[in-house]
Chain A
Amino acid sequence: MTLYDIIFYLFALITIGSAMLVVTTKNIVHAAFALLLTFFGVAGIYVLLAADFLAIVQIMVYVGGILVLIIFGVMLTNKITSVEIKTGTLNVLTASIVIGVFMGLVVSIMVWTGWYSMPAPIPATTAYGLGETLISDYALIFELLAMLLLIALVGAASIARREKESL
């Protein structure tokens, strides 16, 4: 077991452990904190896979943006902190059957697939390649992305505005 493996399993442990905490904890802000750790663990695994730009984007967008939004949402919902939120266990049998089948599927794919690996040069940074493809091959996609974000912005803002009027 090399140092690389040890660090990989460390990050994997952080990710899975905190993800477990997210779904099991009763306190919703604790869940948000555990989610922070989960995103971190995933970012660490991205770094180990030499996807440096993706790792930073993971932290900037998920940790810096989406989680802030989630926490704001949690805090906005008044009294959510004083009420004990109990998510009861329902439909245990159905759920375990579905999960069991799905788990078996994933594990069987994992075991029976022949995994080939070949050495590939690690790029200095993936950001250059990304920029080049964004401008040349995917220039239209790049602009459409901007349009998509514009639509998301307008939509999100108008939904939030209507809620405000009804309050």
Chain B
Amino acid sequence: MLMLTEFGKVFIFILLGAIFVTIAIIAAKLVSPNRPTHEKLLTYECGENPVGSPWVKFNIRFYVVALIFLIFDVEVVLLFPWALVYKGFGIFGFLTGIIFLVILGLGMAYEWRKGDLEWARPHPIPPELDKVLSKKE
């Protein structure tokens, strides 16, 4: 039962935190003025009326990163039980872990080599000083 009461304490903690946050948001609702106009409720776009859909398309790399993350997240979770009992298993535990880590590293090396971790770099064209000067003359 000891275990459950510790989690119970966490549960109470989260519950009290939730109550506090709710009270704060409701209090703000009660005391703050509320006079909406159409202009006020427009999406901010540097003073202009918003153009087009707000849900713009974005780079597929974000998705690839999330995929890679998911795999490594699972590996982290698998590594924790190993790390927990590592000291009791001597050289055998060491080898088990190292092989696991090497396989992990292989996956990483593959991603690296194949360029899945590359992001678009900016290619700035710096203005050349003599050209700028010659234009002015």
Which one of B3, B80, B96, B107 lies within 8 Å of A52 (CB-CB)? Answer: B3
Given contact pairs A60-B77, A163-B60, A143 touches B85 in the complex (Cβ within 8 A):
no
Which residues of A (142-162) have their CB < 8 Å from a CB of B? 142-143, 145-147, 149-150, 152-154, 156-158, 160-161
Interface footprint category on A: 35 or more
Could you say which residues of chain B place their CB within 8 Å of the CB of A150? Answer: 103-104, 106-107
Residues of A within 8 Å of B61, CB to CB, are 164
Which A residues are closer than 8 A to B by beta carbons?
Answer: 4, 7, 47-48, 50, 52-53, 57, 60-61, 64-66, 68-69, 72-73, 75-76, 78-79, 81-82, 122, 124-125, 127-128, 130-132, 134-136, 139, 142-143, 145-147, 149-150, 152-154, 156-158, 160-161, 163-164, 167
Most buried by A among B57, B74, B96: B74
Asked if B114 is at the interface of the complex by the 8 Å CB criterion, the answer is yes
Measured between alpha carbons, how far is A142 from B95 in the docked complex, in Å?
12
A158 to B113, CA, bound (A): 12
Complex partner residue of A135 from B57, B62, B85, CB under 8 angstroms:
B85
The answer to whether B69 and A72 have CB atoms under 8 Å apart is: no
Binary contact track B57-73/A, C-beta < 8 Å → 1, others 0 = 11011111011111101
CB atoms of B60 and A127 under 8 A apart: no
Chain B min CB distance to A61 (Å): 6
B85 touches A69 (CB 8 A): no
**Chain A at the B interface: SS class:** helix
For the complex of A and B, list the 7 residue pairs with the smallest distance between their C-beta atoms, beginning with the closest. Answer: A131-B81, A131-B85, A146-B103, A65-B70, A130-B81, A153-B71, A65-B73
Rounded to whole Å, the gap between the CB of A155 and the closest CB of chain B is 10
Nearest Cβ in chain B — how far from A31, in angstroms? 16
Asked whether B13 is an interface residue with its Cβ less than 8 Å from the other chain, the reply is no
Using known A-B contacts A68-B66, A157-B64, A157-B68, determine if residue A145 contacts B58 with beta carbons closer than 8 Å. no
Q: Are A135 and B96 in contact (CB under 8 A)?
A: yes
Q: How far is the CA of A61 from the CA of B70 in the complex (A)?
A: 7
Which A residues lie within 8 Å of B129 (CB)? none
Taking a contact as CB atoms under 8 Å apart, the answer to whether B4 and A156 are in contact is no
